[in-house]
Amino acid sequence: MPLYGAVELGGTKTLVAVGTSPTDLSTPRRIPTTDPGATLGSVVEYLNQFQLDSVGIASFGPVELRRHHDSYGVITTTPKPGWAQTPVLETIGNGVEVPVGLDTDVNGSALGEGSWGAGVGLTDFVYITVGTGVGGGAVVGGRSLTGLGHPEMGHVIVTPADGDDYPGRCPYHGVCLEGMASGPALEDRFGSPGSDDTEATARDLAAHYIAQGLRNIVYTLAPQRIIIGGGVSTMPGFHDKTHAELTDQLAGYPPLPEHEQSGFIVPPGLGELSGLAGALVLAQEAARTFQS
Ligand code: ZN
């Protein structure tokens, strides 16, 4: 029976667990993401308690994913203090001495959902997280989508809603999807989640912007389904409202009835475990690649 290590490396916290699927995954160990030495050291220490076949890492980015690039497996230009140019893959690989697979956190979540969650049976779908930031991963033809860098769906262009003069809080673009619809961007306008009325207004505005982003994604990637997770997406009615907004914005073109059916925009099937499940998929791939 194989055993895999799963690492979800996040901007504020890192989760690590072992198992073969979400159903037999160990209780995730939560490690604060502080400096690379301490955080990755704790990850390796945890993993080395087990006899593992391989390890998968779903990491925050930007991360170099081109296998033949000199910087493969390195977190590159992150503004997170101390983490720029961190060789995540090499550090963990040298620590555990088994094959290690790596992808972005959101691609990882998409892969996990594809194996065990809301993407089962689909070849082309998207996973979006709407929380502290906005990010998206895509599975296209059964594989996670990377190229020059990796998709940064949170930074697609959006048009300010009528009456919304918020300047946006993306450090690069001001007004972009993340700049207008992330949790902090909503808090700037509406404060912390409070009264039901305010929360419904915040949710509706977020849904409006997310739907703008999804419209671009629908027209460029033609996904069979879009899975939305992250803190903002847990506001009551968020998925239904986003679906209604998207249906409205697509305006019936192209005429695909699937766009209008419930089940096109859905929450993650694995709840909080999408990322770790994706790391298991990456570990499985790493083990297969190593054997072949
Ligand atoms: Zn941006």
Q: Beta strand pairing status for 100-104 and 13-19? A: unpaired
Distance from CA of residue 141 to its chain's centroid?
18
On the question of pLDDT at 206 being above 80, the answer is yes
Residues 6 or more apart whose Cβ sits within 8 Å of residue 171: 79
pLDDT at 187: 95
How many A from CA of 158 to the centre of ligand 1?
10
Domain ranges of the chain: 4-104+282-291, 118-267
Reported confidence tier of residue 194, pLDDT bands at 50, 70, 90: confident
Distance 66 CA to ligand 1 centre (A): 23
Ligand 1 centroid, distance to 232 Cα (angstroms): 17
Task: For residues 115 and 112, give the distance between their C-alpha atoms in angstroms, rounded to a whole number.
Answer: 5
Q: Which residues surround ligand 1, an ion (CB under 5 A)?
A: 155, 170, 172-173, 176
pLDDT recorded at residue 182: 97
**pLDDT per residue as tens digits for the range 70-111:** 999 999 988 889 999 999 999 999 999 999 999 999 999 999
Compare 290 and 46 and report the one with higher pLDDT: 46
What is the residue-averaged pLDDT of the chain?
95
The answer to whether residues 112 and 281 touch, using CB atoms and an 8 Å cutoff, is yes
Q: How far is the CA of 28 from the centre of ligand 1 (A)?
A: 31
Q: How confident is the model over 174-197, as a mean pLDDT?
A: 92
Please provide the size of the chain in residues: 292
182 Cα to the center of ligand 1, angstroms: 11
Amino acid (one-letter) located at 95: G
For the beta carbon of residue 284, count every other beta carbon within 10 angstroms.
Answer: 20
Rg for the chain (alpha carbons), in Å? Answer: 19
Say which CATH superfamily domain 4-104+282-291 falls into. Answer: ATPase, nucleotide binding domain (3.30.420.40)
Domains 4-104+282-291 and 118-267 share a fold: yes
Q: Residues 21-73: pLDDT tens digits?
A: 999 999 999 999 999 999 999 999 999 999 999 999 999 989 999 999 999 99
Could you count the other beta carbons within 10 Å of the beta carbon of residue 29?
17
CATH H-level superfamily of 118-267: ATPase, nucleotide binding domain (3.30.420.40)
Structural tokens at position 91: 């550090």
Report the C-alpha gap between 194 and 249 in whole angstroms. 29
96 CA from centroid of ligand 1 (Å) = 36
